[in-house]
Every structure is written in structure tokens, then in C-alpha cells.
Amino acid sequence: MMRTRPLKVALLGCGVVGSEVARIMTTHADDLTARIGAPVELAGIAVRRPDRVREGVPAELVTTDATALVKRGDIDVVVEVIGGIEPARTLITTAFEQGASVVSANKALLAEDGAALHAVAQRHGADLYYEAAVAGAIPLVRPLRESLVGDKVNRVLGIVNGTTNFILDRMETGGTGYSEALDEATALGYAEADPTADVEGFDAAAKAAILAGIAFHTRVRLDDVHREGITEVTSADIASARRMGRTVKLLAICERAEDGRSVTARVHPAMIPLSHPLASVREAYNAVFVEAEAAGQLMFYGPGAGGAPTASAVLGDLVAVCRNKLNGATGPGESAYSRLSVSPMGEVVTRYHISLDVADKPGVLAQVAAEFNEHGVSIETVHQQVKDGEASLVVVTHRASDAALSATVGALRALDTVRGVAGIMRVEGE
């Protein structure tokens, strides 16, 4: 028998995502009621700018007092889409203390303080769901938390930031430079007025921390994730990758060590083969590979951002949390029993592509090769080129640690015959 008293929802934030959540809750109210088993009612919407016109959002629900809304006492679920650390952290904690469950899209907060939030939720018998915090509409968090919980996940590899993927895609397919591609992304609404979080890898790093924590059942914070953005990627890097039959993508890579005693989490540009499925991910789309012991390779693909796609993930969580409320149960909380250490980037082993500007005279290649040998870095291929009186070397290594490669590059810079290191990029996807 369906319950007649509605489950009341407080919405914190009514921007691009929040307004879509409000719209779907209103227009699909009957469907949501049927799927949940009880009516769901939007009880209030907290915003910072109440005078802003919000199409389809009932004005009588809008308030600037988020704290009072969360503390009302009759709220069953709080949906937080305001982002940032504060006041989101305090509001979510308050919601738990009032007995409400929380659906959040706040990747930055979850990456920094997810363990503490899970602890508060558990203490008060509440749910914390956050599918929308990673990869927009793509179902990824719940498959890792629930569908693959009986398996052993060894690696998560993917494109989790649409802005940077759009920029790199334009640099490759349109032949434009980084600045021009960023301008286009901004004009189309893919990049914020301040694109730092995207182009410097902060957004992807937060998502990597969340994914690594879920996949490996251990705590991984944002500070544990090695981060590099795409601002140093040049047209020459793109062209060099193309000559190798590769393309450049900003990847989030979370791996379990072969001995099973540690994990790594990193975000950086990398050259991947054109034959790799991630190479065909274009525009602002996201795609993530999950490699598990029993399930094998799984790929999740779709729009990673935007109002409607992200709202879809929020509403999916809302339905799940409301069902739990009706059944007097809670869903999966934090699973950090593994307590694995997070290895520093210096210990990560991968391949590298290094571009060197060198003097055009005999013996240079031998000197360069000697430094690689001295530091235990094996060379796979070398391409030497002289153009307009300028000489260059492109070296691709076999697998080496980041620490060994860094020491090699430091030694190369000290050579009189090496005029500069034009670029260093990791090579992935073998």
C-alpha cells in the first residue's frame, strides 16, 4: 500500500543543476511517486540570490536561509548542489543531525572530507549518496559501491573532465593551439570564466580521489592525488602523438599495486594509442574503464557534465534514498576496511615521451643515451630531426619510475649540448 504522506525534500542551490532538479521533480512528480512508493514534495529551495529569475521554480519555495530550511524538522532528504567546502559541509552535517539523508554533487567536499561526512551519516542512521559528484549522468559510483562490491577492482582509468577533453579534442581535430581551444570552450559554455579547476586538473583529481576510495575500499584524499593539468600541452605534443599513432587525453588513473599493499591515484595528460577506446571519446564527453578481477574490463561512457545530465544522477540518488527511508533502511556507507597506503608519484612506473632541443653536432645522441643509461631508464625509440638549423630529439622510454625519469631529466638539463627540454608526457594504454 502506497504511503500518502509525502517525503519532503530540501534543495540547496538552484543554479544550472538545481533548477533542473526542481523542474524534473515538478514535471515528473507522478512517475517519481510510483517509483518511490510515496509522494515526494519539494519543500524549500535555498539560494544566495533570491531576485534571480528561475524559470519553472515556485517563488514561494525560495529562501536565503539554508540553515533554517535544513533545521525545519520535517525534511526527509536534503539535496546539496551548491558546491564548495563551506557552507556545504556545515549544512550537510546539520541535515544528518536532524535525521535527514543527503544527496550531493559536491566532489570537492567529498574528496576532502568524505570520511567525516560518512561517519556523521552513520551515527545518525542517514544515507549519503553522491552519484552526481563523478562523471555527471554516467552511472559509475553506484556500480563501484554496489554492483562490483563482490569483486576485486584493480584499476580505474578514464576521462572525467569534459572541459579538458573538449580542449584537447579541438587541438587535435582543429589544429588550434591551447589558448584558441580554451576560448572556444568558454564561448560554448564548457569552460567557466575562471577555468583553473578544470584545466589545472583539480576537478579531475577530486573525482579520482572519490573513485579510488570506493574502488579499493580505502581512504584516498585529494592531497593524495598527483595532479597535472593541460596548460603545458602544446600543438607540438599533439603532432608528436599523432606521428606515433596516438592522441593526448587528460586521464585519471587509480591503480592497485601488484603486491596489493598500496594504491596510487594520479591525474595528468598522457599519450594513448588511437586503437584504445578512450581515444575516440570526443568533445565534452567522459568515459571510464574499470578493470576488475572477475568482471574483466568494463567501460562507462556518456555526458560528464551539464544541468540535465547531472540532474539525472541526482534524481536517481533521490529515488534510492527515498526508498531506503520508506523501508527504514540505509544504503552502503563508507567502506575503508583495506587501509591501504597511497604511494607517492615518484614510485609510479610508466613510459615517457621526452622532447629535447639539442645542439646540431656529432656525439649528442650518445651523450643523451648515456644519461638515460646512467639513471636506469631504458630507451625504446629515438627520433632525431634537424629543421631550419634547429636540432631536436624525441625519446620514448620503456617503463620507468617517475623518480628515475626526473633524475634523468635533471642530468640532461645540465648537459651543454641540451638546450632545453621542450616537453615531457607519459605514455599510457598499452
**Which residues does the annotation mark as catalytic?**
207
Q: Phi and psi for 272 in degrees, rounded to 5?
A: -125, 150
Q: How many CA atoms, within 13 angstroms, populate the side-chain half-sphere of residue 3?
A: 16
Cell triple for 348? 609510479
Specify the pairing of strand 349-358 against strand 390-397: antiparallel
Beta carbons within 8 Å of 302's beta carbon, 6+ residues apart:
135, 136, 137, 138, 285, 286, 287, 309
Q: Give the SS3 label for residue 419.
A: strand
Residues in a beta bridge with 301: 287
Burial of 276 (0-12, 13-18, 19+ CB in 10 A): middle
Exposed e or buried b per residue across 377-394, where buried means at least 16 C-beta atoms within 10 angstroms of its C-beta: beeeeeeeeeeeeebbbb
Instruction: State whether residue 321 is helix, strand or coil.
Output: helix
Cβ contact 203:107 at 8 Å: yes
CB 287 within 8 Å of CB 159: yes
C-alpha dihedral, 174 to 175 to 178 to 184, nearest 10°: -20
Site of grid cell 643515451: 369
d(CA 96, CA 110): 15
DSSP 66-110: HHHHHTSS---EEEE-S-SSTTHHHHHHHHHHTT-EEEE--HHHH
Category of 73 on φ-ψ map: left (φ > 0), alpha (ψ -120 to 50) or beta: left
Between the alpha carbon of residue 409 and those of residues 156, 352, 383, 386, the distances in Å are 29, 11, 17, 21
> CA–CA separation, 402 vs 410, rounded Å?
12
Cell triple for residue 120? 556523521
